[in-house]
Amino acid sequence: MSDRRILIVEDATGDVALLLKAFRDEGITNPVSFATKGRDAVEELAGNEALPALILLDLKLPDMPGFELLRVLRGDARLKDVPIVILTGAERASDPDRAYELGANSFLTKPMSFTDFRCTIGGLKKDWLS
């Protein structure tokens, strides 16, 4: 794959563990950095000249709504070409439209089974990391 990192913005450690397992199973070898809060993600990106290959963003974060973080990230000119994929467990019918309006490149719902989750990550690899 790439030596460019993937930034995962997710506060649920179980979901992070599943993501990492799915990455391994799908042959995604990019380095990974993590932020459990929106402010941590902003600091991580501001303090690092090397831009990530991809940002995976959960909508439910403890310190700020994911949509607010998406708005902040898309307001940063440096990140205009970095794909941001929403990966969330809960959604309202209007969430995908709102995410796309705010600049998300894709909106994925966390599947319930690991097999489905792995399939979702395989699609993510094909669409955003190839």
Task: Name all contacts of 14-23 with Cβ < 8 Å and 24+ positions apart.
Answer: 15/58, 15/89, 15/110, 18/114, 18/117, 19/56, 19/87, 19/121, 21/114, 22/114, 22/117, 22/118, 22/120, 22/121, 23/121
Domain region containing 68: 6-129
- Residue 20 placed within a domain: yes
93 against 88, higher pLDDT: 88
- The confidence score (pLDDT) of residue 94 equals 84
Number of domains, the chain: 1
Query: Is residue 85, in this structure, part of any structural domain at all?
Result: yes
Largest CA distance in the chain: 37
pLDDT in tens, 35-80: 999 999 999 999 888 999 999 999 999 999 999 999 999 999 999 9
Name the pairing type of β-strands 84-88 and 32-35: unpaired
Q: Say what the pLDDT of residue 72 is.
A: 96
Structural domain contains residue 1: no
pTM, 2 dp = 0.92
- Given a cut of 70, whether residue 1 has pLDDT beyond it is no
The pLDDT of 83-98, averaged and rounded, is: 87
What pLDDT sits at residue 38? 95
Per the prediction, the chain carries an average pLDDT of 91
Domain holding 50: CATH number?
Answer: 3.40.50.2300
pLDDT higher than threshold 60 for residue 128: yes
Q: How does residue 115 score in pLDDT terms, banded at 50, 70 and 90?
A: confident
In a domain, 123, yes or no: yes
Q: What pLDDT shows up at residue 120? A: 87
